[in-house]
Amino acid sequence: MLNFYEVEISAKCISLIPMFIDAKLGFDTGGSEIRRKENRCFAITNIDEDMNDCLKPDNLGRLKVIDYLKK
């Protein structure tokens, strides 16, 4: 059984340069500026009739599944 779903991977970064410039100029910004970047991707799972993961290295049908997904 082939399933797929959408997942979100978010990354956060703190912008230190504007914070230092504001501090040097005497501005009170209330803290650092945090920027978020969101990436979305599809996750694919494949299980057999016994609910075993077909992509595990010890699964006998692993290479067939990988060949199918490459098409």
How many distinct structural domains can be found in the chain? 1
Residue 39, strand partner residues: 9
pLDDT in tens, 15-67: 667 667 777 777 665 555 556 667 788 888 888 888 888 889 998 888 988 89
pLDDT at 15 (0 to 100): 66
Q: What are phi and psi of 21, to 5 degrees?
A: -65, -45
Q: Which domain holds residue 39?
A: 2-70
Does the model's pTM come out above 0.85? Answer: no
Q: How far apart are the first and last CA of the chain?
A: 17
pLDDT at 63 (0 to 100): 92
Token representation of residue 31: 């803290």
> Strand, helix or coil at 8?
strand
60: region left, alpha or beta (phi > 0 left; psi from -120 to 50 alpha): alpha
Structure-token match 């010890």, residue found: 58
